[in-house]
């Protein structure tokens, strides 16, 4: 399977890679779990000649899916983002 996204570590001006160093300090099991999460994003599900997006927020360790749509252009359409933002406001009790 070919990845949809490449993954690189951020490199500081001094040449260090803080995220890599952080990962190295974790247990092998934690590194594996985080690696699987990264791989899930890197190897996104491909639809036939389409790109799907699901906009979400994390609340109290729960991923809440706000809105899903099929992208037709490179840029995410403003109405799609606005709808997700409105749902987030509703979720947070703001209107």
Report, as ranges of residue numbers, the positions in the chain whose pLDDT lies below 50: none
Q: Mind giving me the DSSP string for 27-42?
A: -HHHHHHHHHHHHHHH
How does pLDDT run across 37-62, given as a tens digit for each residue?
888 877 776 677 777 788 888 888 78
Say if CB 70 and CB 52 are below 8 A apart.
yes
Statement: the pTM of the whole predicted model exceeds 0.95? no
């Amino acid at each position: 399977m070919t990845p949809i996204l490449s993954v690189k570590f951020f490199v500081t001006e001094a040449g260090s890679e803080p995220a890599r160093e952080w990962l190295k300090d974790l247990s092998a099991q934690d590194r594996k779990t985080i690696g699987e999460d990264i791989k899930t994003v890197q190897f996104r599900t491909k639809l036939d000649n389409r790109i799907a997006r699901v906009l979400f927020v994390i609340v109290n360790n729960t991923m809440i899916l706000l809105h899903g749509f099929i992208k037709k252009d490179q840029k995410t359409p403003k109405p799609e983002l606005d709808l997700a933002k409105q749902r987030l406001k509703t979720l947070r009790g703001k209107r």
